[in-house]
């Protein structure tokens, strides 16, 4: 599930979220095709109410949607709500806020948020890569190299850093 993907890359987590939420909403990224005979058989009735998502993940789909639509102001508002509800423990919300801060040129704040992500999920090479990128943008090249080396130890198959 979505929670099990915590150790994977950001892109994998986003894809998993998109896929998972798409399945939950009954949507698909695939084109419409004529139903096969097996598909026209009666299906089980849908449950009346979807199970509640854990509070840490409840708004991740909306944060993702607003971010990819580049609606950064609304995205930051949803992130703020999510972080209040989760007492600041939603890694995805912190991560996307850090990405937005970096886009806005707030590199030091971005660095601090990516460091928070690394604390929330210390096994994530992607979080460390983002810390290193922010250090690089701040001109702290030696520190950036050290962090990239730490990230490479966590994910030896990552072509960007290994």
pLDDT tier, 13 (very low <50, low <70, confident <90, very high otherwise) = low
For the cut 70, the answer to whether the pLDDT of residue 36 exceeds it is: no
Average pLDDT, integer, range 88-92: 94
Average pLDDT, integer, range 106-123: 97
Percent of the chain with pLDDT over 70: 65
Residue 67 dihedral angles phi and psi, to the nearest 5°: -65, -50
Average pLDDT, integer, range 56-63: 87
For the cut 60, the answer to whether the pLDDT of residue 25 exceeds it is: no
Task: Report the 3 state secondary structure along 103-153.
Answer: HCCCHHHHHHHHHHHHHHCCCCHHHHHHHHHHHHHCCCHHHHHHHHHHHHH
pLDDT tier, 151 (very low <50, low <70, confident <90, very high otherwise) = very high
> Which superfamily is assigned to 8-26+56-154 in CATH?
Tetratricopeptide repeat domain (1.25.40.10)
Give, as one character, the DSSP assignment of residue 159: T
Structure tokens at 8: 């994977």
The CA-based dihedral angle spanning residues 19, 99, 72, 88, taken in that order and rounded to the nearest 10 degrees: 80
């Amino acid at each position: 599930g979505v929670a099990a993907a915590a150790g994977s890359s950001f892109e994998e987590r986003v894809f998993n979220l998109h896929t998972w939420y798409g399945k939950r909403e009954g949507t698909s990224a695939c084109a419409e095709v004529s139903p096969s005979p097996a598909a026209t058989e009666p299906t089980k009735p849908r449950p009346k109410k979807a199970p509640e998502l854990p509070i840490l993940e409840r708004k991740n789909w909306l944060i993702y949607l607003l971010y990819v639509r580049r609606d950064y102001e609304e995205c930051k508002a949803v992130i703020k709500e999510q972080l209040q509800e989760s007492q600041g423990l939603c890694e995805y919300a912190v991560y996307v806020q850090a990405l937005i801060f970096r886009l806005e040129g707030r590199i030091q704040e971005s660095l601090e948020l990516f460091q928070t992500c690394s604390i929330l999920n210390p096994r994530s090479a992607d979080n460390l890569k983002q810390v290193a990128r922010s250090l690089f943008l701040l001109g702290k090249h030696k520190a950036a190299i050290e962090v990239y080396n730490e990230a490479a130890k966590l994910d030896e198959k990552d072509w960007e850093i290994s």
